[in-house]
Structure 1
Amino acid sequence: MTFMKNLAIYTLSFGLLFGLFWQLDWQQLSTSFQQTNLTLFFVAISFTCFSYLIHAMRWKVFFSEPGTDLFTILKTVVIGHMFNALLPSKSGELIRPLFLKRTTNISYSNILATCLIERVFDGLLILGCLGGGIVYLSAELIDTNTTIAAGLACLVLYSLVAGLLAATYYCQGPITNLLSKFLPDPVFKKVESIIIEFSQGTRRLNKLKSLKILLLSILYWLLNIGAVWFALMAIELPSDLQSFQISMLLVGTLGVSLAMPSAPANIGLFHFTVYSVLAVASGQTLGEDFTSNTNFVSASVIIHLAALIPDLLAGGASYFSFPKGKRAEVVQEGLS
């Protein structure tokens, strides 16, 4: 089952990548890369790096225990970003709590609950970016039925995550009572322990912390939009595609599409998403000859590199700062 799932994921990811690159004029693509403004490209990378600090500050709001100082949390955050780049389907989101667990006495389920709470705030802002970007584009450029379907799918996914958190927060007792009637006792005890720990994670949130997390989440996503904006300005593109609104649409669309299973570093899916948004925003159709859109493919590569390079460098430095035995145990546990 796992083999078939991975086969489908890699087939889709590399199929999308092949679809974008196979008809390209490689000489034109090389010229496009050579014309990249490196100053603006490195500004985009600096925005990405600064977003790590904001992400760590946001996650720190949940914790006050020993071993949860900001520097330690920052290290685990960038490790998570690195493993998102190295493993399929954003598996770094599951490994990040494991590293924090190793420096604290907090249970994995408890920490994982805080990550899901982060995703709820992120989901709200991602949908806002997506909606704001769509509103910016003229109605003639948008396939209404596709937009509505994508929006409904996002709302369903968002509602499921929010509903899970709300259920464990408000209905822990009824849920455990219901499960006790259907599960064998040994299984129920293990599940009950996970639910209790998960519920404790959701209860780390209060009104003041919620406000702090919301404000930090807004700043985090503004930095991501800024990184995409500067990456767009670093490339030879029409000026109307280098706007803040297009950057916001790209961030929103990527936030939705990259929630799907994909190959490591979201290869293929990332590039196809960026290409599609730029093509639609420019009034072109995806069926046109890709050779006329070399700059769009170039843009997808540059934007991806602006995110991938700091993920690998900062995450790698943080990962190797952990003792060899500890980091090997965490990775083995995360992959098992």
Structure 2
Amino acid sequence: MPSKKVIHLMLDAGRSSIKYQAFVNNETGTTPVMKTESLVCCVPSVPFGELGAFSLSRGKDENNKDITEHWVVGSSARLQGKEYIAMSDSENHKVDYFPILALGAIASLPNLLELSTGTSAKRRTLHIRLSTLSLASPLELKKAIEQCKWIAVDGVRYRLCFSKLGFLGFPEGYGASLWASERFDDKQFHTFDIGYGTATISEYSNLGKLPKRVTCSPNGGGGVATLIKEFSRALSNTDSSKMIRPSQLREILETATIGDNGISAIAPDGEDIGSELENAIHSWMKDSPLAYALDDVSVKARRSKVTLCGGAFAIAPVQMLIKERLLKSCIPESNLLIPENPGTVALSEMKKLYLGETTDVNQAA
């Protein structure tokens, strides 16, 4: 048995949401994939008992006393009566605020106290091995997070000890490649990941024990954020647009369905605005950087299998219309695979690197 608990925290901090999962001592202490909005709010004092709320120190003043900051991360950031910051507000926010997002994920772990060590009830220690799915430099993220010395959550102060084994940075969407490698015998395959801001095509070699990324083609502006703008534009000439706040459009989009009468999306007033959503998706596919990505996939998928993943493919109408668009390009339908959970597969499949199914984690990073 190990002498201390080491939390293997896998973090996917995107512009729209933070997805994270903790693994401790193999199966023991493993949490489900958790998700919260990528929002942060600096507050004068930390609210007790609120998810994602914590205090931290990452420096000392001239008297050698800790400089304390108070933050709320996630949906609760909207409730603080102060201006909050959304990672979607700026292209660099998710890198600049990475330490806050990461600590917000740690503070939100449901079994945080049990994952800590120490003899005092109020002073504990967290041993953390942090890994990310990111296009950013792992070394830059590591340097930023290691400045944080402790966090306090619900009256308990946790000293932060980040593992010296290394800060692992996996390719963005790597879990989808693990999912694909178990289903393809091909020597190479692709993943097509449409997230909030970017539509990314990645090629992987499938020759070894673990898939290895060969190339990556991100198409900034091809993600769901652009679709939401198109949806808003499509609604601009309808009465429903007067009653839909921009913050509600995404939820309407994510809860849209496909029925016998086609696409259905319900506005707050109960009106079905599915036709406007369908028009928005078609405009998004034709008149945004997503069009370049679709053209690229349309060629690659004729000879290579492609896994469709990312939050966009968790939206039923988006999944249907993009798949229809690709199949019109003479792609064999068997070359397009969609996981059961396309929105979280990039993170959820990472458990195979930590729970004994695949042992050489460093080889993958």
Shorter-chain TM-score: what band?
under 0.3
Higher helix share: 1
TM-score, normalised to structure 1's length?
0.25
Higher strand share: 2
